[in-house]
Chains A and B, each alone.
Chain A
Amino acid sequence: MAADLQTFPALVKLREFDAEAVEDARTFRGEVTVYIRPAQFIRTCEFLRDESDLKFSFLADVTALDLYPQEPRFEVVYHLLSLQNAQRLRLKVRVGGDDPHAVSAFSVWPSANAFEREVFDLFGIRFDGHPFLRRMLLPDEWEGYPLRKDYPTEGYR
Chain B
Amino acid sequence: MPITLERIPGHEERVILSMGPQHPSTHGVLRLVLELEGETVVRALYDIGYLHTGFEKSFESKTYHQGITLTDRMDYLAPLSNNLGFCLATEKLLGLEIPPRAQWIRVLLTELTRIQSHLVWLGTHAIDLGAMSVFLYCFREREEILHIFEAVSGQRMMTSYFRIGGLALEPPLGWLKGVQKFAKSFPARIEEYETLLTRNPIWLSRTQGVGYISAEDAIAYGLSGPSLRGSGVDWDIRKKEPYSSYEKFDFKVSTRTEGDVYGRYLARVEEMRQSLRIVNQAMEGLPEGPVKANAPHIVMPERESMKTSIEALIYHFKIVTEGFHPPVGEVYQAIESPRGELGFYMVSDGSPKPFRCHVRAPSFANLQALPRLIEGRLIADVVACIGTIDIVLGEVDR
B241 adjacent to A60 (CB under 8 Å): no
Contacts of A147 in B (CB 8 A): 56-57
Task: Report, as a range, how many residues of chain A touch the other chain.
Answer: 35 or more
B331 adjacent to A29 (CB under 8 Å): yes
Q: Which of A58, A88, A115, A153 has the most CB of B within 10 A?
A: A58
A61 adjacent to B93 (CB under 8 Å): no
B332 adjacent to A88 (CB under 8 Å): yes
Report A35-62 residues with CB < 8 Å from chain B CB: 57-61
How many residues of chain B get a CB closer than 8 Å to chain A's CBs? 41
- Is the C-beta of B258 less than 8 angstroms from some C-beta in chain A? no
- Is the C-beta of A1 less than 8 angstroms from some C-beta in chain B? no
Q: Which of B52, B220, B397 contacts A111 (CB 8 A)?
A: B220
When C-beta atoms are compared, the residue in chain A nearest to B95 turns out to be A29
Considering the chains assembled together, what is the distance between the CA atoms of A151 and B60 in angstroms? 12
Contacts of A101 in B (CB 8 A): none
- Is the C-beta of B376 less than 8 angstroms from some C-beta in chain A? no
B57 adjacent to A59 (CB under 8 Å): no
Contacts of B331 in A (CB 8 A): 28-29, 31
A91 → chain B closest CB, angstroms: 12
Q: Which of B1, B221, B345, B367 contacts A110 (CB 8 A)?
A: B221
- Is the C-beta of B395 less than 8 angstroms from some C-beta in chain A? no
A110 adjacent to B220 (CB under 8 Å): yes
Binds A, one of B34-42, B282-290, B357-365: B357-365
B233 adjacent to A83 (CB under 8 Å): yes
Contacts of A134 in B (CB 8 A): 3
- Is the C-beta of B329 less than 8 angstroms from some C-beta in chain A? yes
Q: Which of B58, B95, B365 has the most CB of A within 10 A?
A: B365
Q: Which of A59, A122, A135, A137 contacts B222 (CB 8 A)?
A: A59
Q: List 14 A-B contacts (CB under 8 A).
A: A29-B95, A31-B330, A66-B356, A77-B345, A86-B241, A110-B220, A111-B222, A114-B367, A115-B365, A134-B3, A136-B48, A137-B48, A137-B397, A138-B52
Chain B interface (Cβ < 8 Å from any Cβ of A): 1, 3, 48-49, 52, 54, 56-58, 60-61, 92-93, 95, 219-222, 233, 235, 240-241, 329-332, 334, 341, 343, 345, 347, 355-356, 358, 360, 364-365, 367-368, 397-398
